[in-house]
Amino acid sequence: MNHTLQNTAPVYEASVAQRHRVLRNTYALLALSMLPTVMGAWLGVATGLTSLMSPGIGAVVFLAGAFGFMFAIEKTKNSAAGVPVLLAFTFFMGLMLSRLVGTVLGLSNGAGLIMTAFAGTGAIFLGMATLSTVIKRDLTSMGKWLFIGVIMMLVAGIANIFIQSSALMITLSVLAIGVFSAFILHDLKRVQDGEETNYISATLGVYLSLYNVFQSLLSLLGIFGGRDD
């Protein structure tokens, strides 16, 4: 029996070490991904590139670019090209965010609203990261319901491009904060449970959730907390 325990213990320790390594690499790459995101947003605001596109064209470019990059990330996640492709994706996402950022910066308290949205997103991330270390139950089944919620919000969001309903936009923003906060918890818990062993895939999932939380918070702050010059 002692011989059996001695043989299995190193396997368990290696598994735990791998989980910690994936989680550590995920956090590091997530932090790095913020740099190209900020650069993309700055470039978009400075050049006004995204403001030249109509909302409909912007949505098509965003969806085509985002899904194209995600497909490329999935194909390269186990190679040396995985990290550069992910960082290129985050630059693109920052560029697509620049329309909203530019609109909020046009308000007299715009810079403060952006910092508030950033701080709120950080607080949500820390809360979900902490919660993921405390919760012991398996959250795998929760992912299916969250995914359905995302699809429904995506369809409603595309429809609202044509409907232009402020009430629907506010409702979707509030729902997005809740759903994607839960997704952060779900994805980090998968890494800690050893269900996700690729840190590039893990980073992509958490990054998308953080991006949507920040975007939704900024939209709400711009609507309710913005002051015109």
Cα–Cα distance, 25 to 162 (Å, whole number) = 41
Cα–Cα distance, 146 to 189 (Å, whole number) = 14
Q: Which residues of 51-81 are buried (b: 16+ CB within 10 A; e: fewer)?
A: eeeeeeebeeebeeebeebeebbeebbeeee
* Residue 98: both structure tokens together: 């620049």
Cα–Cα distance, 142 to 208 (Å, whole number) = 17
- pLDDT score of 18: 87
pLDDT tens series, the chain, 229 aa = 444 344 444 444 447 888 889 999 999 999 999 999 999 999 999 998 887 787 778 888 998 999 999 999 999 999 999 999 999 999 999 999 999 999 999 888 889 999 999 999 999 999 999 999 898 888 888 888 898 998 999 899 888 878 888 899 999 999 999 999 999 999 999 998 888 899 999 999 999 999 999 999 999 999 887 666 5
Cα–Cα distance, 68 to 72 (Å, whole number) = 6
Q: H-type helices in 106-198, by residue range? A: 110-134, 140-163, 166-192
Cα–Cα distance, 99 to 96 (Å, whole number) = 7
* Residue 195: both structure tokens together: 């269900």
- pLDDT score of 152: 92
- pLDDT score of 157: 87
For residue 221, CA distances in Å to 160, 200, 228 come to 19, 31, 13
| Most distant pair of Cα atoms in the chain: their distance | 76
Cα–Cα distance, 127 to 205 (Å, whole number) = 17
From the CB of residue 209, how many other CB atoms can be counted at a distance below 10 Å? Answer: 27
Please say whether the beta carbons of 227 and 106 come within 8 A: no
Counting every residue written for the chain, the total comes to: 229
Q: Is the dihedral of CA 146, 150, 153, 159 positive or negative?
A: negative
- pLDDT score of 112: 93
- pLDDT score of 3: 43
